[in-house]
Chains A and B, each alone.
Chain A
Amino acid sequence: KNQVEQSPQSLIILEGKNCTLQCNYTVSPFSNLRWYKQDTGRGPVSLTIMTFSENTKSNGRYTATLDADTKQSSLHITASQLSDSASYICVVSRTTSGTYKYIFGTGTRLKVLA
């Protein structure tokens, strides 16, 4: 069954601290993995995308890693800011017969406190 599981469900950290969010998937055949940030009351916005051959991708203070062998990805946030408070959604794309399907995780809700 094609699934994407994220952990933790929610996380509270202090401003300036680092944190790591996890994404495990059982999607096949794998095409790519994307991390989205969704602010409250807004639609998701793409942070990074990685294909099978990419191990790491950075976007400012956000660094995503991918281990295609273990089917795990992580999103590391460095020196967190109040504006990082949001939900982070992992999405894995699979391809079948030339079309692409998106499998969404339930997200991790991050709260950064001053």
Chain B
Amino acid sequence: ETGVTQTPRHLVMGMTNKKSLKCEQHLGHNAMYWYKQSAKKPLELMFVYSLEERVENNSVPSRFSPECPNSSHLFLHLHTLQPEDSALYLCASSQETHLSYNEQFFGPGTRLTVL
């Protein structure tokens, strides 16, 4: 395993539901990321946190709300999602955000289906 865990692994929700995705890293890293992976599309970076501070927000709709209470945990709160939000949501962590050889370690992802 990569040292990054995500729960739940699968989630089905209606458009009016509120749910949260959880990510935890056991690597002592300072940076954490949320990505969206849709079929036949490149990974899309959603949010970047460095030492619990959000440093990047790539024009993500407000129905996605990230939270980073400490450097080991990252949440993605979901509300009033649309069917096109169905995708694999990947969490990743890395030592820092500004290192040249910055390897990102990915979790297994949460497969989200919005009905």
- Which chain A residues have a beta carbon within 8 Å of chain B's beta carbons? 4, 9, 31-32, 34, 41-46, 49, 51, 89, 93, 95, 98-100, 102-107
Describe B's contact surface by its main secondary structure.
loop
The A-contacting residues of B in range 73-114, CB under 8 angstroms, are 90-92, 97-104, 106-109, 111
CA distance A31 to B98 in the complex (A): 12
- Which chain B residues have a beta carbon within 8 Å of chain A's beta carbons? 2, 4, 40-43, 45, 90-92, 97-104, 106-109, 111
Q: What are the residues of chain B within 8 A of A98 when measuring CB–CB?
A: 98
CA distance A99 to B50 in the complex (A): 12
- Distance (whole angstroms) from the CB of A45 to the closest CB of chain B: 7
Given the known interface contacts A98-B98, A104-B43, A106-B42, the answer about A49 and B103 at a Cβ–Cβ threshold of 8 Å is yes
Describe A's contact surface by its main secondary structure.
strand
Contact (Cβ within 8 A) B106 A45 = yes
Which of B40, B99, B101, B111 neighbours the largest number of chain A CB atoms within 10 Å of its CB? Answer: B101
Contacting residue for A4 out of B42, B108, B111, CB 8 A: B42
Q: What are the residues of chain B within 8 A of A32 when measuring CB–CB?
A: 100-101
- Distance (whole angstroms) from the CB of B10 to the closest CB of chain A: 10
Contact (Cβ within 8 A) B4 A43 = yes
Contact (Cβ within 8 A) B109 A95 = no
Contact (Cβ within 8 A) B2 A100 = no
Q: What are the residues of chain A within 8 A of B98 when measuring CB–CB?
A: 98-100
Instruction: With CB as the reference atom, state the residue of chain A lying closest to B43.
Output: A104
Contact (Cβ within 8 A) B42 A104 = yes
Instruction: With CB as the reference atom, state the residue of chain B lying closest to A39.
Output: B108
- Distance (whole angstroms) from the CB of B34 to the closest CB of chain A: 12
